[in-house]
Amino acid sequence: NKQYPDVPHHTMVLGPRYEGLLTDIFKNHKLTDDFSLYLHRPTATDPSVAPAGCDCFYVLAPVPHLDSGTDWAKEAESYKNAVCKRLEETLLPDLGQHVVTSHVMTPQHFHDDLLSYKGAAFGLEPLLLQSAWFRPHNRSEDIENLFMVGASTHPGAGMPGVLMSAKALETVIPVIHNQANA
């Protein structure tokens, strides 16, 4: 129930050790207590997404996938509070006392509700040999009539890539279907 007009639409809040943090999360599978955060404030460009006099935020805190053994049923609330505290210390003073509603999504949610492998929120690691044409193609090369869309398939990640992936299949599947029925 407060606005933070000085916060832009997209903000990176970098912690004290960026490279070491990524190593701990992605290689060592550790849930860390220092953060680098992505903060999205859509009300900066579209005030209609929150009630008058209020702001709306999305915070992304990189965490390890489910192989870390983190018990998200126990950790989610305290982790959310630690992230909130970090945001209060850096960009959003008194945030905690102005939150009207919040929703936390953890790797467990991504696994259980969205069927995401190991609870990963994102797809393939962005390596050169998993980019562009090297990404899995929309039509399986191994399983007949298996088609794939999404951020981990060709042409790539992000909403535009996912939509282009679906659009490509929209033209391919009817042709294949018609050939099979000819």
Contact 57, 86 (CB under 8 A): no
Domain presence at residue 23: yes
Whether residue 78 sits in one domain with residue 43: yes
Query: Which range marks the domain in which residue 135 is found?
Result: 128-180
Q: Give the pLDDT band of residue 86 (cuts 50, 70, 90).
A: very high
Domain presence at residue 51: yes
User: Which has the higher per-residue pLDDT, 2 or 174?
Assistant: 2
Please report the pLDDT score of residue 40 as a whole number.
96
Whether residue 86 sits in one domain with residue 21: yes
Q: Rounded mean pLDDT of 68-97?
A: 96
Supply the DSSP symbol for 134.
G
Whether residue 176 sits in one domain with residue 108: no
Domain presence at residue 1: no
For residue range 127-159, what is the model confidence (pLDDT) as tens digits?
777 777 788 888 888 998 889 888 888 887 777
Whether residue 69 sits in one domain with residue 34: yes
Domain presence at residue 147: yes
Give the containing element (helix H, strand E) for 168: helix 158-180
Domain presence at residue 115: yes
Supply the DSSP symbol for 143.
S
> In 4-151, which residue ranges form alpha helices assigned H by DSSP?
18-22, 72-90, 95-98, 107-112
Whether residue 35 sits in one domain with residue 108: yes
Please report the pLDDT score of residue 31 as a whole number.
93
How many separate domains does the chain show?
2
Domain presence at residue 109: yes
Whether residue 160 sits in one domain with residue 115: no
Q: Rounded mean pLDDT of 28-56?
A: 94
Whether residue 152 sits in one domain with residue 78: no
Burial of 5 (0-12, 13-18, 19+ CB in 10 A): exposed
**Is pLDDT above 90 for 100?**
yes
Please report the pLDDT score of residue 137 as a whole number.
85
Domain presence at residue 3: no
C-alpha to C-alpha distance for 105 and 81, rounded to whole angstroms: 14
In percent, how much of the chain has pLDDT > 70? 99
Domain presence at residue 47: yes
Question: Of the ranges 7-16, 48-57, 60-69, 144-153, which one carries the lowest mean pLDDT score?
Answer: 144-153
